[in-house]
Amino acid sequence: MVDLKALRAEMDKRYKVIEISEQRTDLAFLECDKIDVPDAVAYLRDHEGYVHLSFITCVDRLEDEQFEIVYMLRNHEKKHDLGVKTKIDRKNPVMDSMHNHWAAVATYQRELREMFGIEFPGSPGVNRPFALESWAGPPPMRRDFDTRKYSEETYFPRPGRETHDPAEHMKKTQYPGRADL
Amino acid sequence: MSIKDIIAPFAVWKRAFEKPWTIKKPIDDRPGADRYRGFHKNDGDTCIGCGTCETICQNAAIDMVPVDGVQGDGGDSGLRPQIDYGRCCWCALCVDICTTGSLTMSNRYVWTDNDPDVYRFIPGYDSKEWDNAETGYSRPEGYSLLKEERVEMPALSVEEGLKSFVEMIKGYSAEQAVKEADRCVECGICVAECPAHMDIPGYIRAVREGNIDEGMRLLYETNPFPASCGRICTHRCEEVCSIGHNGDSVAIRWLKRYIADQVELEDYGKALPRPEENTGKKIAVIGAGPGGLTAAYYLRMLGHDVAVLEARKAGGGMLRYGIPEYRLPYDQLDKDIEYIRGLGVEIRYSINVDAESFKNLEKDYDALFFSTGLSDPYKLGIDGEDNPRVFGGLAVLDEVTAGKDPKLGKTVGVIGGGNVAMDAARTARRYGAEVTVLYRRRVVDMPADIEEIEEAAEEGITIIPQAIPLRVEDAADGKVGFVWNMAEMVDDPDGGRPRPQPIKGEIHTFVCDSLISAVGQGTNLPYLPEESESGVAVKRYKPVVDERGQTGNPGIFAGGDIVNSRKDAVSAIGDGHAAALSIDRFLMKKEA
């Protein structure tokens, strides 16, 4: 069991914690300002037992014009997961790189840059393609990315494809004599 | 080089005879999880080809294609989805949105072939080994991307409704209408079923987008009676609505009414097109019912001069004289008619056309359209039906339209199961009578709209089904007795609908103050000259016309209840529209 109140008290002494909430007994989320995140994560790793970074992910909060980045940490001893969340400006999406905390972070940051267009200055190899070689379109995981429009503009349909509109087809096949009504 | 280096390669060989360290696991031993989203299945009998799967597919992987052996009929487009596995990402949105639930997925995921074109296939028709797979993905119970519940229509309570002839249905508010319109997936399956082939998805979209003028324009493209049809249409469109397969069908009729209700008659002209320039052609229309006035409207719009001749004192035909005010208030019918009249259509009332004037009309006008409806009530064909306490259903409704109390007494029996029977019964109920409807077949066989039957029952009207009329006789205290025989339903050996057969000895007498006979009406064409003179053939009491209303005489056209089999307002409207276009073609020598 993790005493979230105690954890928060310790964190409050050092960083501005916006919110801490328990989702399940083995899962909690903590929200910090963008500027506090690298230090807060380092503190959790070095002093609170969250030695493992499970993954980094991002939520596109389009309506609020923000990206929410989530660092999922794990305390193996206490079998507890803690997500550290922060919100950054969607119009100027830059986040401090944390590759010095865990080397593997660089890979997640490469992925986030490709999928959401978030910049991580200084992160090793961050500008290399992650999964999308020679991708020229907008970052595809952004919610305003129009999959269909992109696909229509970028790819060509397989030759020989033909579709039919149900109402038009029924007009021709079911009431041809009155089709011009 | 040491001796070890020399023998090492040979030492490896001994491993060949050992038990393998790896576990052999052939790939076909790894079935997908029970709810894995694998290859598609489609139940062709359930699928209606609405194309909603195609619309939602974000990868444009689905095409709607005709399939050999799938005919398509009302409510089935005859198309089926063809999926391109070069594009599909197995997200299952197509399965989740499927209106009928026909599209599902098996948990199979291995399929290899050298020919890339085989990966474009029609599930359920191009036979696949997973067609009968039991496991796989289908839409989970209780989860739906479609809004399955209809927005409830505000209406008077039964008690309130029975007190007067005030319209019972109140109509949607803007918020309710938009919410209801939002349920439509715009598949267009309904358009074929509508006898007037209205652009239903189009005007529902106009409601959703709050564009009432556009809605009006779309309504009038195919139907100049939106205020009336928005209330009393038999709405066959709703019976085939794709959303109706797993939920409530979209309230198409109420949305049509909503559009017409939003616009005052004075403002119709702002939304609707004006007639074309005058052509100098004159057309006479006999009968100012929905068929005749629709023909008149479209002919006028095409620039022709139209004169409508009506025997009654007001227009609207059965909409006025057959349908009670609580379903269709007269001011709403007048709104529709007045707009048509205002465009320059001349309506002459109280004019009876006979064979002589029919011939004159043919001479004086460039073309003739007649749509005089069914006015001749069928007789019961039993003894005693000329009893003075027996009234015709239409005659009763007619009298009420004229504002007279039909004086039916405290107990009323209505014989028949159609809309006229229901309307007469509900009208009698509004005059305070205890009403019983007697019908020769089962309730499910009644030709009346299901809503009318349900509302009649709610209003406390008793329905006695399977009652075969035997005779009418006088009863004590000036009452009348209706003698009927309980029937059992027997299957028709010729495959028709089950027939009522009298049960021996089960003979009852229903005693009441008045009996209303409403067992249907037939054509009455006393004005129509012989075929040799007019060129109009009559077969089985119906004028013979082609599918666009033209009779054997190229200048004479007919439509409405006297020619079609559906015998409802919207079919007459469809006939009138088709005939108008056909007349225009004939007069202006246009190519078909």
**Residue B155 is assigned to a structural domain of this protein:** no
Task: Let me know whether B386 and B484 are in one domain.
Answer: yes
The count of structural domains within chain A is: 1
Interface membership of B54 toward A (CB under 8 Å): yes
Q: How far is CA A129 from the centre of its chain?
A: 17
Instruction: Read off the pLDDT of residues A118-139 as tens digits, 9 standing for 90 and up.
Output: 999 999 999 999 999 889 899 9
Beta bridge partners of B105: B40, B137
* Domain coverage including residue A150: 4-159
- pLDDT at position B588: 92
Query: CA-CA distance, B241 to B236, in Å (whole number)?
Result: 9
* % of chain B with per-residue pLDDT over 70: 99
The domain that holds A12 is classified in CATH as 3.30.460.80
- Structural domain for B452, as ranges: 379-519
Does B1 have pLDDT greater than 90? no
Q: Which of residues 311-340 of B touch A (CB under 8 A)?
A: none
- Residue B512 included in any domain: yes
State whether B449 and B337 are in the same domain.
no
Q: Nearest-5° angle of CA B557, CA A168, CA A147?
A: 160
Residues of B in contact with A170 (CB under 8 A): 72, 77-78, 188-189, 191-192
A170 located within any domain = no
Question: CATH no. for residue B567?
Answer: 3.50.50.60
- Give pLDDT tens digits for B294-353: 999 999 999 999 999 999 999 999 999 999 999 999 999 999 999 999 999 999 999 999
B334 and B414 housed in the same domain: no
Is B536 within the bounds of a domain?
yes
- pLDDT over threshold 60, residue B589: yes
- Facing residues of B467 across strands? B486
pLDDT category of residue B27 using cuts at 50, 70 and 90: low
Residue B362's H or E segment, with its range, is helix B355-364
Domain assignment of residue A31, yes or no: yes
Chain A residues inside the 8 Å CB shell of B72: 169-170, 173-174
Which of A152, A158, A169 is closest, CB to CB, to B77?
A169
Percent of all residues in chain B with a pLDDT value above 90, rounded to a whole number: 88
Higher pLDDT, A152 or B178: B178
Alpha-helical regions (H) of B196-264:
200-208, 212-222, 226-232, 236-240, 252-262
Q: Is residue A45 part of a domain?
A: yes
Calculate how close chain B gets to A125, using CA atoms only, in Å: 30
Tell me if A179 is assigned to some domain: no
Report angle CA B371, B377, B380 to the nearest 5 degrees: 155
pLDDT digits (tens, 9 = 90+) for B414-452: 999 999 999 999 999 999 999 999 999 999 999 999 999
Are residue B541 and residue B498 in the same domain, yes or no? Answer: no
A78 within domain boundaries: yes
Contacts of A180 in chain B (CB under 8 A): 581
> Per the CB < 8 Å rule, is B73 touching A174?
yes
**pLDDT band per the 50, 70, 90 thresholds, residue B407:** very high
Q: Chains A and B: how many Cβ contacts under 8 Å? A: 90
Please tell me the distance from the alpha carbon of residue A54 to that of residue A79, in angstroms, as a whole number: 13
For residue A163, list chain B residues with Cβ-Cβ distance below 8 A: 54, 62-65
Q: What are the C-alpha distances in Å from B36 to residues B84, B133, B136, B288?
A: 19, 12, 5, 62
Residue B78 touches chain A, beta carbons under 8 Å: yes
Tens-place pLDDT, residues B469-499: 999 999 999 999 999 999 999 988 887 888 9
Q: Which amino acid is at B419?
A: N
CA A165 to chain B, closest CA, distance in angstroms equals: 7
- The CATH number of the domain holding residue B110 is 3.30.70.3270
The answer to whether residues B383 and B498 belong to one domain is yes
Q: Are residues B508 and B391 in the same domain?
A: yes
Domain edge (last residue) among B237, B271, B305: B271
Whether B293 is in a domain gets the answer yes
Angstrom distance (rounded) from CA B454 to CA A101: 72
Asked whether residue B385 falls in the same domain as residue B512, the answer is yes
Task: Report strand pairing: A80-89 vs A27-32.
Answer: parallel
The answer to whether the pTM exceeds 0.90 is no
pLDDT tens digits, one per residue of B210-241: 999 999 999 999 999 999 999 999 999 999 99
Interface test with B, best of A155, A169, A172, A180 (most B CBs within 10 A): A169
Instruction: Report the DSSP beta bridge partners of residue A29.
Output: A21, A83
pLDDT digits (tens, 9 = 90+) for A20-56: 999 999 999 999 999 999 999 999 999 999 999 999 9
Query: Which residues of chain B have a CB within 8 Å of the CB of A148?
Result: 58-60
Contacts of A146 in chain B (CB under 8 A): none
- B15 falls within a domain: no
Do residues B461 and B397 both lie within one domain? yes
Domains: count for chain B = 4
User: Residues 80 to 99 of A: which have CB under 8 A from any B CB?
Assistant: none
| Residue B363 phi, psi (nearest 5) | -75, -45
The rounded mean pLDDT for chain B is: 94
Instruction: Report whether pLDDT(B592) > 80.
Output: no
Which of A161, A170, A171 faces B63 most closely, judged by CB atoms?
A161
Average pLDDT on B237-248 reads 96
Neighbouring CB atoms inside 10 A of B408's CB total 24
Residue B346 forms part of a structural domain: yes
Residue B564 belongs to some domain of the structure? yes
pLDDT in tens, B186-208: 999 999 999 999 999 999 999 99
DSSP-assigned beta bridge partners for residue B302: none
Confidence band for B28, pLDDT divided at 50, 70 and 90: low
In chain B, whose CA is at the least distance from the CA of A179?
A: B197
The last residue of a domain, from among B500, B519, B538: B519
- Whether residue B20 is predicted with pLDDT greater than 90 in this model: the reply is no
Domain boundary among B469, B504, B519: B519
The amino acid that residue A125 corresponds to is: G
- The CATH number of the domain holding residue B201 is 1.10.1060.10
Residue A175 lies in a domain: no
Contact yes or no for B51 and A178 at CB 8 A = no
Let me know whether B394 and B512 are in one domain: yes
Instruction: Measure CB to CB from residue B188 to each of A166, A173, A178 and give the nearest one.
Output: A166
